[in-house]
Homo-oligomer: A and B are copies of this chain.
């Protein structure tokens, strides 16, 4: 079980994920809410939100933990295992909508559960 009481801190963290579609690093939230809440509070809220399948997590290029909002997940089942992409230049992380392409990666060699891509995003590519 995750979130039980709807506290102000919980709402503030959740609002960040409603405000924008991209993924957010735990690290960013810690510094963003630096003078509003303690970092352990933030990590604990993120844990609980993930437990409830409200957000999902993964590790980015520099080993930091990233979170993004789940779209079609219930508390009981987590279907939201779409690929993620992180730009090496601007470090932004995007959730990629599910395509049927990704299942082709496997040659019956593994059971693939998550896909993480890195490279250069559109915006950074056009400005260099």
Stoichiometry, copies per complex: 2
Q: How many angstroms between the C-alpha atoms of A63 and B120 in the bound complex?
A: 21
- Chain B residues whose CB sits within 8 angstroms of the CB of A87 once the complex forms: 110
- Chain B residues whose CB sits within 8 angstroms of the CB of A115 once the complex forms: 105, 115-117
Q: Is A104 an interface residue (CB 8 A)?
A: yes
Within 8 A of B (CB), among A69-128: 83, 85, 87-88, 96, 99, 101-102, 104-105, 107, 109-122, 125
Among A63, A88, A96, A111, the one with the most B-chain Cβ atoms within 10 Å of its Cβ is A111
Chain B nearest Cβ from A39, distance in angstroms: 17
Within 8 A of B (CB), among A10-68: 59-65
Q: How many angstroms between the C-alpha atoms of A77 and B111 in the bound complex?
A: 32
| Inter-chain pairs besides A59-B61, A112-B119, 8 sampled, C-beta below 8 Å | A59-B59, A110-B121, A111-B120, A112-B118, A114-B118, A115-B117, A116-B116, A116-B118
Q: Which residues of A contact B (CB under 8 A)?
A: 59-65, 83, 85, 87-88, 96, 99, 101-102, 104-105, 107, 109-122, 125
Q: List 17 A-B contacts (CB under 8 A).
A: A59-B59, A59-B60, A59-B62, A63-B63, A63-B65, A85-B110, A102-B105, A105-B105, A105-B117, A109-B122, A112-B119, A113-B119, A113-B120, A114-B118, A115-B116, A116-B116, A116-B117
